Every structure is written in structure tokens, then in C-alpha cells.
Amino acid sequence: MITVFSAGIGEYPSTNYPELEWLKGNDVVTTADYASKASDSEYKRTNLTLKCLNWILDGNYVQFTGQGKNPLRLEAFKELQQAVQELFTECPYQLTPDQLTATMRAALVLGDIGLSPKGKALFPELGHISDHDEFYKEALCILGQEPSRCPTFKALPLEAQNLLIKTSHFAHYGHICHVEGGPSMFSKIAAVHTPNDAYCLKFDLFIHCCDVAGAAGHVDDSYSIVYSNQVHEAMQAIVRTCQSIIQNGLSKEEGLMEYLRYRGAKLGLSADDLTERALIRVGCMLRLYTLEEGQALKAAADNLEQDLLEAFDPMISREGPTPTYMPAVLCNLKRHHNLDYAVQKGLPAIANTLKACPGELNFNPLAAQINEYPRCLESSETIEAFIRSNSR
């Protein structure tokens, strides 16, 4: 096992990854799920994911937690170390430890390639894809045939390239964590049948943990602000749910219910009650984790119409891609105001948009508008304009 308090292996310079440098500049698409307007925010986020990976590999618990600013339990950090150690010992691909480490770094760097104009220009045939996670998945398919399009991908051995291609298709774990979609989020995981597939899923889940750990790198890139004990427990719940689907043959619906029951228990809400199940979903989007927060959420939603709340039932499958950045809308409202305001203004706005726009939906522009004008939802024109922009 890697030593937990070793001295540190230092930073890997971003110049090793041209695609990381492409994330600098004002023309890079910026996700609006945090209030900061820092320059080069996507570069700083992705760079921190690499640092977090390095700190886990090196056992640098002190640096990962910012000298204790983030009170992540040592036991939780050791579980991250155990997860990466298993990736090295169980790897079915013909890769040396250094090559596997390089593959992990490449996964973190390339995952955001769809945010940069230079990255998107390399794949003109994917210009119609707005979601950068979907863009990454499709770009990896193309790179399997034309690896020279991306220098970091091209530099990897063939086995590593195959591992990245395989892991790009399983699931969007952020969607699962925040219950942004329905049972279809688990569709690819329910199709995992071989030991090789199971390894790729473990690899993908670990990379997602690193990605989450760096999510606030534009706020402070010296440690992981985001990866708290509560976030770690939610990540572990996703891991257990995926394992239950693979090992116990759960359906995607049963898998989602298992995850909802876990998150609901933390909030004091029942996944077997339709209204409370909808509130569990909302609570996940709002990053709520405690009994007190669950009760506050229930009180905030007390005056909302029953049919409005039922529109958030996660067991109802929506046709097409999972709508993106709904949590950013709610979290930004809560950050600028409070939980009651986020629920009373945010839920009707989202529900009305979902009802009016059955196709692909990206709420990031609305989340950004809320950051700029925190009371914009008090005007009905805001949502009417947003609906019109998504109905063309």
C-alpha cells in the first residue's frame, strides 16, 4: 500500500498535455455551477484533477486536504488509495505501472476537450454536440481510428488507447450522483458482463472521483475543496450500486432505487413514497446530505403543487439525452439566496422547461444567467425566453 504521509511527487507540468493548454482563454466554454468568474477556470479545474490524482498516488493526504482545510477522513483517503492500488494489481491490459498512470492522466485531460474551441475544431463532425461529456465519448470513438488527432492520446500505447475508448462509454457518474436522469443512466452498466468490462468500470469510477476532487480548482487549486466526507460517501454509494447491478443482476430501475434509498436515508426521506422520492432527487441536485437538510427541503417544498413535484420523480424515464446542468440552476439559486428560494423559484422553472421542451436540454446558460442576475427568475420572461431558445 502507498504510504499516506510521503513527501510528495510534485506537479506534472501542463506542457506535457497540449490539450490542457487549450483550456486557457476567454473562448473556452465555462460551466456555471460555481459562482467564481476566475480566468482560465476550466484549465484550473482540470489541472487540479491531475494534482489530486498525483496526491492520491503519492499518499499525500496533507496536501489533498489543504493542511486540514477539508476535513476528509484519513480512512476515506485510504479508500481512494485502495481503489487505485487495485487498478494497478488487477489490470488486464498489458501496461506497466507508469503507462497505466499516464492513461489515468490522459483520461482527466481529454475528458474536457469538448470545452475548448481548439479541441472541438479537431472533430468538426461532432460540431452538433453541445455536451462536453457526450463529445468526449464520440471523440474517443474517432480517435480509435485516427489517434493522431490528439497528441496526448497518440502518445499512449495501443492498450492504453483501447482502455480509454472502453471506459468512455459506461455512464455519466455526475448525472447519477445528482440524479439528473432516470433509470437509463445505468443502461450501459447493466450490460457489463465480462471481468474486463468490470475492470474498465472501476477505472472509470476512480477517474470520476479525481474529476470531482478538482471541481473547484478555479476557486483554489492548492487542495481539493469539493471532495468532502459526504461526497466520498456518495461516490462509494455509486460504486456499490454499480457492483450490485453487475454482481447481483439488478435491473437499471432496481439499481436507481438502491441509490435513491441510500441518499434518501441520509435525508430522512423514503424512496418508496412518490413525493419524497422526487424530493430525494431534488436534494441530490442541491448537494444535500443530512437529516436536517432533508427536513428543510421538505418544508421548503410544502406549498408546491403535487403534480409539479411528481414531475421530478426520477423513476419516470425521459426520452432522449439526460438534461444537463439542472443542479447548477438550483445550486446557484441557493448560493445567491437560500434553500427556500431555490426550491420555490427553481423547481417550477425547471419543470415548465422540461414539459415544454421534450428534446435535448442544456440548463448551463440559465445557470450562468442566474449568476449574473440572481433574481432573473422573478420575471416570467426569463423562462419563456429560455424555452423559446430550446424550441427552435
Is residue 158 predicted with pLDDT exceeding 90? yes
Q: Check residue 33 and give its pLDDT.
A: 53
Half-sphere exposure of 242 (CA within 13 A, CB side): 27
Q: Check residue 39 and give its pLDDT.
A: 65
Whether 208 and 235 have beta carbons less than 8 Å apart is answered as yes
Spell out the long-range contacts of 8-12 with Cβ–Cβ below 8 A and sequence spacing 24 or more.
8/55, 8/58, 8/60, 8/63, 9/54, 9/57, 9/58, 9/60, 10/54, 11/50, 11/51, 11/54, 12/50, 12/54, 12/105
Q: Which residues pair with 324 in a beta bridge?
A: 362
Q: What is the spatial distance between Cα 245 and Cα 297, in angstroms, rounded to a whole number?
A: 30
SS3 string, 282-333, reads HHHHCCCCCHHHHHHHHHHCCCCCHHHHHCCCCCCCCCCCCCECHHHHHHHH
Q: What is the spatial distance between Cα 16 and Cα 36, in angstroms, rounded to a whole number?
A: 27
Residue 116 has which C-alpha cell? 475548448
Averaged pLDDT score across all residues of the chain: 90
Is residue 6 predicted with pLDDT exceeding 50? no
Binning pLDDT at 50, 70 and 90, where does residue 378 land?
Answer: very high
Is residue 3 predicted with pLDDT exceeding 50? no
The residues, any chain, with a CB within 8 Å of residue 18's CB and separated by 6 or more, are 151, 152
**pLDDT > 70 in the chain, percent:** 93
What integer is the mean pLDDT of 139-145?
94
Half-sphere exposure of 99 (CA within 13 A, CB side): 15
Residue 18: C-alpha distances to residues 26, 121, 135, 150, 171 (Å)? 17, 14, 18, 9, 26
Tell me the per-residue pLDDT of 39-53, one tens digit each, with 9 for 90 and over: 688 899 999 999 999
Spell out the long-range contacts of 18-24 with Cβ–Cβ below 8 A and sequence spacing 24 or more.
18/151, 18/152, 19/109, 19/110, 19/113, 19/116, 19/119, 19/150, 19/151, 19/152, 20/46, 20/47, 20/50, 20/109, 22/113, 22/116, 22/117, 22/118, 22/119, 23/112, 23/115, 23/116
Tell me the per-residue pLDDT of 358-376, one tens digit each, with 9 for 90 and over: 888 999 999 999 999 999 9
Q: Which of 128-132, 140-144, 310-314 has the lowest mean pLDDT?
A: 128-132
| Single-letter residue type at 109 | V
What integer is the mean pLDDT of 135-152?
94
Residue 139 has which C-alpha cell? 471523440
CA dihedral 330, 332, 337, 338 (to 10 degrees): 50
Is residue 261 predicted with pLDDT exceeding 60? yes
Residue 45 has which C-alpha cell? 479545474
Query: Given the C-alpha cell 479541441, which residue does it identify?
Result: 119
Axis-axis angle for helices 158-167, 132-145 (nearest 10)? 150
Q: Check residue 13 and give its pLDDT.
A: 44
Biggest CA-to-CA distance, the chain: 58
Of 70, 48, 26, 38, the residue nearest 214 (C-alpha): 48
Torsion angles phi and psi, residue 37, rounded to 5? -110, 35
